[in-house]
Amino acid sequence: MATDSIDVKNILGLKLPSDPRWVDLAGMELEDILTDHAYCEQKAATTCISLIQRYSDKEEMVAALSPIVTEEWGHFRIVLAELKKRKLQLGKQRKDEYVNKLLEFQKKDGSVEDRFLDRLLTMALIEARSCERFKRLSEGLNDAYMRNFYRKFMESEAGHYTLFINLSELYLPKEKVRKRWNEWLKYEKELMKTIEVRGDRIH
């Protein structure tokens, strides 16, 4: 698998950083942010399962994503345990505006190859933004324990981000991946400008 993939060395190569107000808001709504985080980890696991089921012929991808399913579900359990330790409740799953807007940008027609690429790049972008958000929490929260808690997640998400980019380049020409990834980054930049800054959600 490629080791010199685009943006791998610059893991926070997103076009627009998160609004700095978000960390302060998240710190004031810890129960909600932990709940949303738990569901994000759960959805990451189920999406990887869906990719494995849909593209079972891609052996390298199946092998690469199988342990990610276990890891993401493990993250869900870690966040759930943190809620329990704090005597907080796992609330209701919310509508994920950020992810839904990303899904709107996926190609619905065209070649099977194009649709496959967009699914992988969607996951890469979600993981990249999650990494950026966890980095902000690891640096900006007042609680030292929670800063360390989120640093561990930040490091994990960075690895996941590179995995989806590497898988894209494994199956498709790098030039094609690079061109489409830049389109995704530009779209996500504009999307971030439209989403309300709220402390009860990861994205």
Q: For residue 150, tell me if it sits in a domain.
A: yes
Per-residue CA distances from 184 to 5, 121, 170, 179 (Å)? 16, 8, 19, 9
Has residue 2 been placed in a domain? no
Mean pLDDT of all residues belonging to the chain:
90
Tell me the per-residue pLDDT of 141-178, one tens digit each, with 9 for 90 and over.
999 999 999 998 988 777 888 899 999 999 999 999 99
CATH number at residue 51: 1.20.1260.10
Helix (H), strand (E) at residue 51: helix 30-54
Average pLDDT rounded to a whole number, residues 128-142: 92
Q: Which domain holds residue 137?
A: 21-194
The C-alpha atoms of residue 65 and residue 171 are separated, in whole angstroms, by 15
How many Å apart are CA 36 and CA 43, to the nearest integer? 11
Q: Is-contact 102 118, C-beta < 8 A? A: no
Residue 114 has pLDDT above 90, yes or no: yes
Whether 11 maps to a domain, the answer reads no
Q: How many domains does the chain have?
A: 1
| CB count in 10 Å sphere of residue 147 | 14
Q: What is the pLDDT of residues 77-110, one digit of tens each?
A: 999 999 999 999 898 888 889 999 999 999 988 7
The pTM (predicted TM-score) of the whole model is 0.91
Residue 62 domain flag:
yes
